[in-house]
Amino acid sequence: MIDKPASRADTDERQQLSHVVIESVAAATECSAHQLPPLHEAIDPDALNNLFASEGRTGGRSGGGHVSFRYHGCTVTVHASGRSVVERITDGEQ
């Protein structure tokens, strides 16, 4: 399991959640981000980026909650805080 808490700089203006997911899955699967299938085959990247969009002047992500989906042999959970958790799916879970 790769548990990658994203810093505020990683998930605010400088990096979108979809990019955090791609980097986290690449690390978990030990492959290059360029070798991964398109993220849109698993989830709409624009919707993911907008799901926990910043609120006004606070710069923080909105609300609470999380979204989970499967991508490239992993279960990915993205939290409103910007933290992403990637767990590789074992053969028994497929």
pLDDT of residue 76: 94
pLDDT of residue 72: 95
- What is the C-alpha separation between 41 and 53, in angstroms, rounded? 22
Mean pLDDT on 11-34: 84
pLDDT of residue 6: 34
- What is the C-alpha separation between 71 and 36, in angstroms, rounded? 9
Q: What is the residue range of 80's domain?
A: 2-93
Residue 33 — φ and ψ, nearest 5°? -60, -30
Per the structure, the count of domains in the chain is 1
| Tens of pLDDT, residues 31-45 | 999 999 999 999 999
Mean pLDDT on 25-32: 92
pLDDT of residue 4: 46
pLDDT of residue 65: 87
